[in-house]
Structure 1
Amino acid sequence: MINLEWYRIFLHTARHRNLTKAAKELHITQPSVSYAIKQMEEAMELKLFHRLSKGVELTEEGLALFEYVEQSFGMLESAQIHLQNLKQLTEGEIRIGASDSLIKHLLLPHLNAFHRKYPGIRIRLSHGKTPDITQRLKAGEIDCALLHLPVHDSQLNIQTLAVLEDCFVVGETYKGMANRSLTANELAELPLIFLSEGSSTRIFIEQWFAAKGLSVKPDIELGSIDLLAEFARLGYGAAFISRSFVQQELDQGKLFELHIEDSLPPRSIGFAVRLDMHLSIAAENFVQILRAGIE
């Protein structure tokens, strides 16, 4: 097997066409360069240099080898530069998965802060429902994910990032109902506006009604938080939504929160990675920004 250092000595000798100059650049002695070249030629059973009175010249075989060695060391140097850039967060990427609502209302402000601080980091976002995002994370398609909890999976390391409080909101049409506490039965009688079937939010509220012996079917199913809030504002019924996502509309009097006798339990949002994976430097720094912004 050829010693990697021999290739380095060969490369510098070929570039300078002089053993002494190569030795000076490599910070070794000229005899060390000469001995390494000799050892390399003996190992390969080929002459790599013509020994001349004023230096050396590559043989045909040496020239053929030089092209490969130069490219190889060039790639190694590029790799070192790339790794240094990754370390300094001037290059790299993070792949994050989350639902649309979490991307907009929880993730985006922190992504903006991260992007301003590290503009060279490429951000790849993958959206979907929590079950879909969980599978993509386990398949290695994304590095990390924001998930609606609970999620029980032995392959994942999940840490709680935030707690969401949900509520039912209505527009001016149903404003009068916001002045008193409603039972679950009274809520079930209203036109209901839910997120699409299969979403964690939809499963949560259906289970909440089921625990009270009620089976509900929404009048309107939508795929985004913004549409939920808009249809509620327009008077189509009561939308089930996280309070923090519509706090501005509540403060402005565009939406009104319905008060429930049996309060809704809070839900947690978790940050998940695979147990068998270490986060990249870029992802680690993003997590720190995310946690600092949420706490």
Structure 2
Amino acid sequence: MNMNMDWYRIFWHTAKLGNLTRAAQELHITQPSVSYAIKQLEAQLEVKLFDRLSKGVKLTSEGMEVFKYVEKSFTTLQSGEDRLQKLKELSAGELRIGASGPIIKHFVLPLLDTYHAEYPEVRIRLSQGKTSDIRERLKTGQIDVGIVHFPFADHELTVQHLANIQDCFVVGHAYQHLSQKPLTAHELSNLPLLLLSEGSSTRKYVDQWFSSQGIQADADMELSSMDMLIELAGRGYGAAFVTQSFVKQELAEGKLFQLHTKEPISPRAVGFAARRDSTLSIAATRFTELLQ
């Protein structure tokens, strides 16, 4: 049986108002159109839905049974439309993003503060992980947007460049004297090295930098938190490989000192990734606009 939603909508309004003319006025159609739709619906259902009265209509017992279900259906549809309107206005919805810890603290959080202040009713789901973890969460639909380090390529995902970042080695007062002249990779490798754990994009990058100069560098301390690397470097435990902008304040205040290298450390890029075959939610789209 084919369902004609217009017939049911006209039936619903007529049943509520008990009058064909008033239903026509509310629906902005003619009274004959209302009468025709009800007749067609009665023919399709093979039951009489209304008794015609001198001053209107009233539901038959079968019509009342149909009305109960139609009322539920249209109430549900109205709730759906109301929910959609809230999503469009960003007075509801969900933003699911993923990034590494350092990127979250120094890059994502300032933007999230702006976003949350403007759209406080949008629920923010933030997950931390390595770039490889973010890739998998994107592909399995666990998050909408991932902030990732380049190089990053996957045929299932799209990636847009956001910013370039510069990495560097920093030390505390115990090794301050080494900041006076450029150091070779070999000289750096002889220092206690404080590096992010293996598998992270930052660790892979510094390992490649050493390797390009024929050095196999070993980490004295491996941590999953760049904040902890910064803390330990400041306490004199060695040289930490960190993103320069993340230690801007410590460098300015003289709590940390940047070590200069004879072989330059090239800038890296950060971007945001999303699934190629999926349309971003309105909430996620607004966040990517802030990112850009």
What's the TM-score bracket when you normalise by the shorter of the two chains? over 0.9
Q: How does 1:1-295 map to 2 (within 5 A)?
A: 1-291=2-292
In the TM superposition, structure 1's runs of 4+ consecutive aligned residues that sit over 4 Å from their partners are none
Give the aligned residue type for 1:290.
Answer: L
Deviates more, 1:176-185 or 1:13-22: 13-22
Q: How far does residue 133 in structure 1 lie from its aligned partner after superposition?
A: 0.5
What is the rounded CA distance, in whole Å, between the counterparts of 2:148 and 2:230 in structure 1? 22
Give the conservation status (yes or no) of the 8 Å contact 1:2–1:40.
Answer: no
What is the rounded CA distance, in whole Å, between the counterparts of 2:24 and 2:227 in structure 1? 69
Give the conservation status (yes or no) of the 8 Å contact 1:2–1:43.
Answer: no
- In structure 2, the gaps of 5 or more residues are none
Q: How far does residue 19 in structure 1 lie from its aligned partner after superposition?
A: 1.6
Q: How far does residue 48 in structure 1 lie from its aligned partner after superposition?
A: 1.2
What is the rounded CA distance, in whole Å, between the counterparts of 1:131 and 1:59 in structure 2? 64
Q: How far does residue 91 in structure 1 lie from its aligned partner after superposition?
A: 1.9
Q: SS at 2:271's partner residue?
A: strand
Q: SS at 2:198's partner residue?
A: coil
What is the rounded CA distance, in whole Å, between the counterparts of 2:88 and 2:153 in structure 1? 33
Give the aligned residue type for 2:66.
Answer: L
Identity %: 56
Q: How far does residue 64 in structure 1 lie from its aligned partner after superposition?
A: 1.4
What is the rounded CA distance, in whole Å, between the counterparts of 2:218 and 2:30 in structure 1? 84
What is the rounded CA distance, in whole Å, between the counterparts of 1:196 and 1:62 in structure 2? 69
Q: SS at 2:260's partner residue?
A: strand
What is the rounded CA distance, in whole Å, between the counterparts of 1:234 and 1:54 in structure 2? 90
Q: How far does residue 257 in structure 1 lie from its aligned partner after superposition?
A: 0.5
> Once the two structures are superposed, what CA deviation does each residue of 1:112-131 show, in whole Å capped at 9, x if it has no partner?
11111121222111110000
What is the rounded CA distance, in whole Å, between the counterparts of 2:61 and 2:214 in structure 1? 87
What is the rounded CA distance, in whole Å, between the counterparts of 1:177 and 1:31 in structure 2? 92
What is the rounded CA distance, in whole Å, between the counterparts of 2:270 and 2:29 in structure 1? 59
Q: How far does residue 26 in structure 1 lie from its aligned partner after superposition?
A: 1.4
Q: TM-score, normalised by structure 1?
A: 0.95
Q: How far does residue 44 in structure 1 lie from its aligned partner after superposition?
A: 0.6
Q: How far does residue 29 in structure 1 lie from its aligned partner after superposition?
A: 2.3
Q: How far does residue 166 in structure 1 lie from its aligned partner after superposition?
A: 0.4
> Once the two structures are superposed, what CA deviation does each residue of 1:208-260 show, in whole Å capped at 9, x if it has no partner?
11111111111111111110000000011000000001110010000010111
Number of residues paired by the alignment? 291
What is the rounded CA distance, in whole Å, between the counterparts of 2:157 and 2:53 in structure 1? 65
> Once the two structures are superposed, what CA deviation does each residue of 1:104-158 show, in whole Å capped at 9, x if it has no partner?
1100001111111121222111110000101110111111110011012111111
Q: How far does residue 43 in structure 1 lie from its aligned partner after superposition?
A: 0.8
What is the rounded CA distance, in whole Å, between the counterparts of 1:158 and 1:2 in structure 2? 44
Q: What is the aligned-residue RMSD (CA, Å)?
A: 1.2
Q: How far does residue 52 in structure 1 lie from its aligned partner after superposition?
A: 2.5
- In structure 1, the gaps of 5 or more residues are none
